[in-house]
Amino acid sequence: MSILKEICGISRRSFLQTVAGTGVLASMELFSSRSVFAAENKKPNVVFILADDVGYGDFSCYGAVKIKTPHIDKLAAEGRRFTDAHSPSAVCTPTRYALMTGEYAWRKQGTGILPGIAAIIIEPGRMTLPAMFKQAGYTTAVVGKWHLGLGAQTPTDYNGEIKPGPLEVGFDQCFIIPATGDRTPCVYVENHRVAGLDPKDPIKLDYTVKRGEPRSFVNDIPRIGEQTGGRSALWKDDDIADTLTGKAIKFIEQNKDKPFFLYFATHDIHVPRVPHPRFKGSSQAGVRGDVVQEFDWSVGKVIETIDKLGLAENTIIIVTSDNGGVLDQNGPDAVHGGTEETNNGHAFNGPLRAGKGSAYEGGTRIPFIARWPGKIKPGVSSELICHVDMLATVAELTGQKLSTDVGPDSFNILPALLGEKLNKPCRDHLIEHGHVLAIREGTWKYLPARQGRKKAGKKDNAGPASTGKAVGELYNLAEDIGEQNNVADKNPDIVKRLSGMLEKYKTAGRSRYM
């Protein structure tokens, strides 16, 4: 018994409960790390908070000085803060697809940034992150930005029963922004219906209308796509954070006595950035900084709820972002023609090169903090991890087997989350999805030469075009985190190995079980 206790780090009482409850066979499994948590009767709740467009340098615990994020900083101090965590893509939809499925989105056609009229891009019946939780007996909910399509066909009909949607791919309940804050429809969908819709004023959408055209305005803010009708259901832009946070809290309160999974995907800090008046001017980094502080408030309310209900010891809280930071090129006063947003020199992606949309580190390296008192060892980790790993990690956490045909790019990162001493990295490589597919191996990073002669994107996002003989770019992030010094020519063997790995994982259709 004492040896078992040492190996598994579980209490004598929970061990005896396991033996009594599930028999000797199950107790033998205690030798595998998987069953350490599954063996304990209490399944940990999981709250996954996904911010939108928050960059690597946006929280004070990641170096911001013009923005204050006390709640997130406290979470980091009590939990584990990752310095090399990545979103699976440098933009919204593909990141969310990969988070849900454990598959890199670039493997599947049609997973780019979706309009608000797109059909769902996750096949109902497929194994997903929420479905994995449900199989383990959890109650699941998504609150906030969905952006994975709704309905069986494009264009989505918002006036009837809207399905398939989140409820058909593993969630028990949903309260969502269908696409983004800057895309129509500007209404919430609750389970299968638009919340507050008057059937006598049906919603009509026209996606031939571009942002900034007179017809694109909803609530006096330009959107992508026109919306007519649905007036009683329109959201109020400066209330979005309050509304979503309230729904998240309500779900936690209602499910406090049973295991739950909450995917809380905030609108903050995506454009249009319209903070509630109490956050307006609260930061020293312009309206962008204000909405980061509003996001911090939302995180604080969720933590407060969990702590107040006595759930802290049994709840894993993760705070992260769906891609790197960006300044709004339409500006806060797009009405008057648009100017680039200013933020008083705040380095929203820290020392990283480029940002949202790019395969340079600024595109996908994002803040990632995980707290689970008594289980996750507080500290800072430089382990390479990615949101696409959540599926395999949750399988491990809940004592389930991830079959080889699902989650083809999902690795179990539970040991890294917990802060266990690792003999080898949880993942020995990662493919970063931006203007090209780049590959990481340890601190090496290789970006293949970009095909064509397209002009380099704004803010250095797209890198140099191929000159015909270029071997691509190779960076040693251990000494060059800003990707300024291309050492490809000096290291042909490393370039060859990394480009070979990249091709192998692309063509194999998977990167796990190779």
Contact positions toward Ca ion, by CB under 5 A? 52-53, 92, 322-323
Q: How far is the CB of 116 from Ca ion (least distance, A)?
A: 15
DSSP SS3 for 344: coil
- Amino acid residing at 7: I
DSSP labels, 187-215:
B-EETTEETT--TTS--EEETTSPTTSGG
**Cα–Cα dist 358/21, whole Å:** 51
Q: How far is the CB of 114 from Ca ion (least distance, A)?
A: 12
Q: How far is the CB of 52 from Ca ion (least distance, A)?
A: 4
DSSP labels, 375-439:
TSPPEEE---EEGGGHHHHHHHHTT----TTS-TT----HHHHHT---SS-S-S-EEEESSSEEE
Q: How far is the CB of 241 from Ca ion (least distance, A)?
A: 16
Residue positions counted in the chain = 514
Q: Which is nearer to Ca ion, 75 or 90 (CB)?
A: 90
Q: Which is nearer to Ca ion, 27 or 87 (CB)?
A: 87
Q: Which is nearer to Ca ion, 40 or 322 (CB)?
A: 322
- Is residue 48 within 8 Å of 318, Cβ to Cβ? yes
- Amino acid residing at 199: P
Q: How far is the CB of 301 from Ca ion (least distance, A)?
A: 22
Q: Which is nearer to Ca ion, 294 or 322 (CB)?
A: 322
Chain position whose Cβ is nearest to Ca ion: 92
Q: Which is nearer to Ca ion, 99 or 194 (CB)?
A: 99
- Is residue 230 within 8 Å of 203, Cβ to Cβ? yes
Q: Please state the separation of Cα 168 from the chain's center in Å.
A: 20
Q: Which is nearer to Ca ion, 40 or 52 (CB)?
A: 52
Q: Which is nearer to Ca ion, 92 or 143 (CB)?
A: 92
Q: How far is the CB of 328 from Ca ion (least distance, A)?
A: 12
**Cα–Cα dist 474/509, whole Å:** 24
Q: How far is the CB of 211 from Ca ion (least distance, A)?
A: 16
Q: Which of 477, 459, 450, 273 is nearest to 365 (CA)?
A: 477
